[in-house]
Amino acid sequence: MQTLTLAALAEALGATLRGPGDTVITGLGTLKAATGEQLAFLANPRYRSQLAETTAGAVLCTAADAEHAPGAVLVVDDPYQAFARASHWFDRAPRPAAGIHPRAVVSELAQVHPSASIGANAVIEDGVTIGADVVIMPGCFIGAGSSLAEGVRLWPNVTIYHGVKIGPGTIIHAGSVVGADGFGFAFSAGQWHKVAQVGGVSIGAGVEIGANVTIDRGAIDDTLIGDGVILDDQVHLGHNVVVGDHTAMAGKVGVSGSTRIGRHCLLGGAVGVAGHLDIADGVTVLGMTLVSRSLTERGVYGSALPADRQDRWQRNAARFRHLDELYRRVRTLEKGRRDGD
Amino acid sequence: MQTLTLAALAEALGATLRGPGDTVITGLGTLKAATGEQLAFLANPRYRSQLAETTAGAVLCTAADAEHAPGAVLVVDDPYQAFARASHWFDRAPRPAAGIHPRAVVSELAQVHPSASIGANAVIEDGVTIGADVVIMPGCFIGAGSSLAEGVRLWPNVTIYHGVKIGPGTIIHAGSVVGADGFGFAFSAGQWHKVAQVGGVSIGAGVEIGANVTIDRGAIDDTLIGDGVILDDQVHLGHNVVVGDHTAMAGKVGVSGSTRIGRHCLLGGAVGVAGHLDIADGVTVLGMTLVSRSLTERGVYGSALPADRQDRWQRNAARFRHLDELYRRVRTLEKGRRDGD
Amino acid sequence: MQTLTLAALAEALGATLRGPGDTVITGLGTLKAATGEQLAFLANPRYRSQLAETTAGAVLCTAADAEHAPGAVLVVDDPYQAFARASHWFDRAPRPAAGIHPRAVVSELAQVHPSASIGANAVIEDGVTIGADVVIMPGCFIGAGSSLAEGVRLWPNVTIYHGVKIGPGTIIHAGSVVGADGFGFAFSAGQWHKVAQVGGVSIGAGVEIGANVTIDRGAIDDTLIGDGVILDDQVHLGHNVVVGDHTAMAGKVGVSGSTRIGRHCLLGGAVGVAGHLDIADGVTVLGMTLVSRSLTERGVYGSALPADRQDRWQRNAARFRHLDELYRRVRTLEKGRRDGD
């Protein structure tokens, strides 16, 4: 665990320190619960009321908020961004040592950089390439011919099929599966006939993929994930989906096959996107929305109705079944009025 | 496999037996299919019509229903609760033997109770504490410093990250991931910057977690799951979610970060709850509902429209796009009428 | 990697070749990107415009489309079905060798056919039966007494609990869990009491199950999946669900306990089906629909509203909360008109 003085933190973050430079910070805390040895931050206005009472050793905040802090502050323009940087200095996530665990199973036909860490029970097949500083944790499987560029980290029990390329610095959390067969079947004579999925998956640099995500391999060409994409847990991307750079998807988003999502899009939790669509750059989709047509213009989109009391929701839902009829009745009334009826 | 006489069952359950005490029961069956050696139950009125024809060796039911049973009955006030108890006596799930499998990989810096069972290819990192009678099945990973209290059971291929606490008697099914990084990123200069997730996860006693569930670690403080919580398969809980005691979530529920769910809540299948909300104790949310605001009063809530024939649904959905306009047209008609128009 | 001449392909597919029989095909390509050594196909009219410009070595298409192809064509009645067959000849997915990997853990009480392939770190418990040509990839777990018929393939890190039967030729992708406990609890005295799930799971022949799917074991009887069923990634089937032959479910579908789905049904992405329902044969449900009542007639059903611009969606959603009231106001207007008011 790292310890840093406030003076050192201020210098590293380019922050203006108001308070004693020799205070030692040993970790992170919330405004509400931080101790005198912890660093807190204020970015979301929702928590501004907690500032006056905080017992944090120091608070990262803007100049405007700094006025109201009871103790030391590190003044910055973008407190959350500064906190993002500082957070890594106090992260206690263990860093596995370099080398191949004696209980890993690594093909003689794989190339593993000596600085990489291969955990117990990891299985690495023929023709795999593992770059410098890669961390593969226990129970992961890397299929034949796949490549992991430098600095990739796979948490435990991740499955990478054959023919998958992962760019530098990409992180994949536990239980995720990259490169399983796309859902491709021809229906004939009353049965489904599997179409072999011969494409692969190509993932860019600096991508973060949550836990239990599924990204299917392409039917013919590769499924493509751009640089800097962030995917929360349980996202599903079908075969030949294309995701543009720096797009973010919250938990449980599903995107069907062959859909192209632009750059800098934001998809809220459990959004569903149908197949063969085009979503423009900069599109934001609110949680639980169904996207069943292409969205060709930047903007914010929604479709899910919000929770209501059961009695009212049931009455309204029952009326919804007759909405078209209601519309016609209103038209009749309007016509009658126009006719002087 | 256990065998019990009806007399023994009646005594153990505090039931009134009507029928021969020496009938031997060897297992469980449904009213429709149970054999003369199997115990059935009637709790859901939907299945009452099957009672008269049952060939079960005995039926757990209320005194009122007992009148209509063709054979032996065990009369109780709450048949489903009694069945829940009896079910465990006939469960055939294997119970792994105590001890560490020679193919497990256990750190010398971990403390494992001698009565615990550690399966093949399980990996247990430094500083982990494993209590009495814990069962860790093959392929599980337990990260540094995590603790599993007595009687915890992990089914195969579960991943527990570092810094996770699991209370006594909690069960976690296969493929679930506890403690992966929360979805915390600061957006700056066109890119997402990861915020290290330095909190942990704390899970109470007697919790049941289904298969392929994801529960993320906290950003700063811990994600908190109370006692007696039950989570079905593929539930997702974001960072710093708090779930109150004895709350139940059906399959595929998703809860976004920092939301607090009360005690004794019921969330139906695929419900989605946005982040930073408060859900009161005793709230029930119907399946596939979007909860986008705090629900501060106990009660039942819904939002999803139910399935309808495609032609009608399409016509109504098209009208929905103009609902606000329709509302205004009705107001115009009302105004005209009031004006004696 | 296989290579085939166009003449050989035409014969194997029963296709009419228009072009040089000695052209060698080494792989598959899309109409847009295929090289002169690759086979493409045209089935979806959406891609017809790409035909004239294709540089593919040959195109599988109908006689009508063949007129517009610039090069060699293989004329068939059903191009996608023919492509499905041909795709397997060019599939590069590695085929593991027969035999038990020295790092697999196989019970002496299991029966493994000599032609089966058991990967590293696979764990096979007592009483398991593994048929001819089965492939079990690394990290899989097969619980006591389960049986895998000939030709079953499990991709890595699949968990099969005890008492599961899997029919011949069935494929299960990575991270899926079959046979975890159903979500069965009795509520009494303020707490949930677990009901032991003593049923199993029975899966038919030629089934394909995607990645990170969960299929729970039955409470008493088995959960049943018919022949030729195809399930995409992250599908969830609760305890005692019955799925009829040749039914297809897209990604993220959830089906609650004891529901029976007919034969030849199609469930779109993220559809949710409540428990204890009956869905007739031949039912199609559009993506993200909530099915909360039985659907007793073949046909197409939907319920989800499609994405709209945020401003319009918000206004309409706000009006929806008063839809029943609007309906009453229209009725009042109608009554006034009838009364000559």
Residues of A in contact with B256 (CB under 8 A): 250-251, 269, 287
Q: Does residue B5 have a pLDDT over 80?
A: yes
Determine the average pLDDT of the residues in C149-170. 98
Do C4-89 and C99-301 show the same overall fold?
A: no
Min Cα–Cα distance to chain C from A177, Å: 7
Residues of C in contact with A164 (CB under 8 A): none
Q: Does residue A83 have a pLDDT over 80?
A: yes
pLDDT at A1: 54
pLDDT at B216: 98
- Whether residue A141 contacts residue A154, with contact meaning beta carbons closer than 8 Å, is answered with no
Mapped onto helix, strand or coil, the DSSP state of residue A332 is helix
C-chain residue closest to B322, CA distance: C316
* Residue C325 CB-density burial (10 A; 0-12 exposed, 13-18 middle, 19+ buried): middle
Summarised one tens digit per residue, pLDDT across range A278-291 is 999 999 999 999 99
- What is the band of A46 on the pLDDT scale with cuts at 50, 70, 90? confident
CATH superfamily of C99-301: Hexapeptide repeat proteins (2.160.10.10)
Window 191-220 of A: residues touching B by CB (8 A cutoff) are 206, 208, 210-212
Arithmetic mean of pLDDT over chain C = 96
- A252 Cβ under 8 Å from any chain C Cβ: yes
C-chain residue closest to B84, CA distance: C195
pLDDT at B125: 98
Residues of B in contact with C305 (CB under 8 A): 305, 317, 320
Arithmetic mean of pLDDT over chain B = 96
- A306 Cβ under 8 Å from any chain B Cβ: yes
Beta-carbon separation of B291 and A269 below 8 A: no
User: Which backbone phi and psi does A9 adopt, to 5 degrees?
Assistant: -60, -45
Contact pairs from chain A to chain C, CB under 8 Å: 236
CA dihedral (C141, C142, C143, C144) positive or negative = negative
Amino acid at B213: V
Q: Does residue A301 have a pLDDT over 90?
A: yes
Look at A45-54, A172-181, A208-217, B318-327 and tell me which has the smallest mean pLDDT: A45-54
A4-89 adopts what CATH topology? 3.40.1390
Percent of chain C with pLDDT over 70: 99
Tokens standing for residue A192: 């489904």
Residues of C in contact with A125 (CB under 8 A): 94
- What is the band of B1 on the pLDDT scale with cuts at 50, 70, 90? low
Beta-carbon separation of C228 and A126 below 8 A: no
ipTM entry: 0.97
B partners (3+ CB pairs within 8 A) are: A, C
Rg of chain A over all Cα atoms, to the nearest angstrom: 26
- C139 Cβ under 8 Å from any chain A Cβ: yes
- The domain ranges of chain B are 4-89, 99-301, 310-341
pLDDT at B311: 97
Which of B220, B222, B224, B296 would best serve as a mutation to test chain A binding (most A beta carbons within 10 A)? B220
Look at A192-206, B40-54, B107-121 and tell me which has the smallest mean pLDDT: B40-54
Mapped onto helix, strand or coil, the DSSP state of residue B318 is helix
Q: What is the Cα–Cα distance from C121 to B123, expressed in whole angstroms?
A: 12
Determine the average pLDDT of the residues in C180-185. 98
Beta-carbon separation of B327 and C330 below 8 A: no
- A301 Cβ under 8 Å from any chain C Cβ: yes
Give the active site residue among B193, B239, B264, B322: B239
Arithmetic mean of pLDDT over chain A = 96
Please report where in the chains the tokens 């359950």 appear, as a residue: B13
pLDDT at A313: 97
Among the partner residues C125, C180, C308, nearest to B321 by beta-carbon distance: C308
C-chain residue closest to B173, CA distance: C180
Please report where in the chains the tokens 């294997």 appear, as a residue: B94
What positions of C carry a catalytic annotation?
239
Secondary structure of C108-121 in HEC code, one letter for each residue: CCCEECCCCEECCC
- C77 Cβ under 8 Å from any chain A Cβ: no
pLDDT at B162: 98
Residues in chain A: 341
CA neighbor of B14 nearest in space, from B70, B60, B65: B60
Mapped onto helix, strand or coil, the DSSP state of residue A297 is coil
Task: Give the CA distances from residue C184 to residues B88, B107, B225, in Å, rounded to whole numbers and listed in that order.
Answer: 12, 36, 20
Which of A103, A157, A193 would best serve as a mutation to test chain C binding (most C beta carbons within 10 A)? A193
Sequence-ordered list of residues with C-beta below 8 angstroms from that of B299, at least 6 positions apart, any chain: A309, A310, B282, B283, B284
Pairing of strands A123-124, A141-142: parallel
- What is the band of C92 on the pLDDT scale with cuts at 50, 70, 90? confident
For chain C, the straight-line distance linking the first and the last C-alpha, in angstroms and rounded, comes to: 83
Determine the average pLDDT of the residues in A13-34. 96
Beta-carbon separation of B162 and A92 below 8 A: yes
Question: Alpha-carbon dihedral of residues C237, C238, C242, C248, nearest 10 degrees?
Answer: -10
Summarised one tens digit per residue, pLDDT across range C263-284 is 999 999 999 999 999 999 999 9
Among the partner residues C157, C307, C327, nearest to A290 by beta-carbon distance: C307
Determine the average pLDDT of the residues in C44-60. 94
- A11 Cβ under 8 Å from any chain C Cβ: no
Determine the average pLDDT of the residues in A305-324. 97
Q: What is the Cα–Cα distance from C197 to C223, expressed in whole angstroms?
A: 11
Which of A101, A173, A325 would best serve as a mutation to test chain B binding (most B beta carbons within 10 A)? A173
- What is the band of B341 on the pLDDT scale with cuts at 50, 70, 90? low
pLDDT at A237: 98
pLDDT at A337: 82
* Residue A335 CB-density burial (10 A; 0-12 exposed, 13-18 middle, 19+ buried): exposed
Q: Does residue C27 have a pLDDT over 90?
A: yes
Summarised one tens digit per residue, pLDDT across range A245-259 is 999 999 999 999 999
Q: What is the Cα–Cα distance from C240 to C226, expressed in whole angstroms?
A: 13
Q: What is the DSSP string of C182-224?
A: P--EEEETTEEEEPP----EEE-SS-EE-TT-EEEPPSSS-EE
Residue B209 Rama label (left phi>0; alpha psi -120 to 50; beta): beta
Summarised one tens digit per residue, pLDDT across range B187-202 is 999 999 999 999 999 9
CA neighbor of B183 nearest in space, from B202, B168, B169, B196: B196
Contact pairs from chain A to chain B, CB under 8 Å: 236
CA neighbor of A27 nearest in space, from A93, A91, A95, A94: A91
Summarised one tens digit per residue, pLDDT across range C136-151 is 999 999 999 999 999 9
Beta-carbon separation of A307 and B291 below 8 A: yes
Q: What is the Cα–Cα distance from B173 to B158, expressed in whole angstroms?
A: 7
Determine the average pLDDT of the residues in C253-272. 98
pLDDT at C32: 94
Beta-carbon separation of A309 and B291 below 8 A: no
CA neighbor of C199 nearest in space, from C239, C258, C168, C171: C239
Summarised one tens digit per residue, pLDDT across range B233-285 is 999 999 999 999 999 999 999 999 999 999 999 999 999 999 999 999 999 99
Summarised one tens digit per residue, pLDDT across range C272-326 is 999 999 999 999 999 999 999 999 999 999 999 999 999 999 999 999 999 999 9
Summarised one tens digit per residue, pLDDT across range B119-165 is 999 999 999 999 999 999 999 999 999 999 999 999 999 999 999 99
- C9 Cβ under 8 Å from any chain A Cβ: no
Min Cα–Cα distance to chain C from A188, Å: 7
Determine the average pLDDT of the residues in C97-108. 97
Q: What is the Cα–Cα distance from A34 to A36, expressed in whole angstroms?
A: 7
Q: Is B162 a catalytic residue?
A: no
Window 52-71 of B: residues touching C by CB (8 A cutoff) are none
Tokens standing for residue A218: 């392409």
A partners (3+ CB pairs within 8 A) are: B, C
- What is the band of A341 on the pLDDT scale with cuts at 50, 70, 90? low
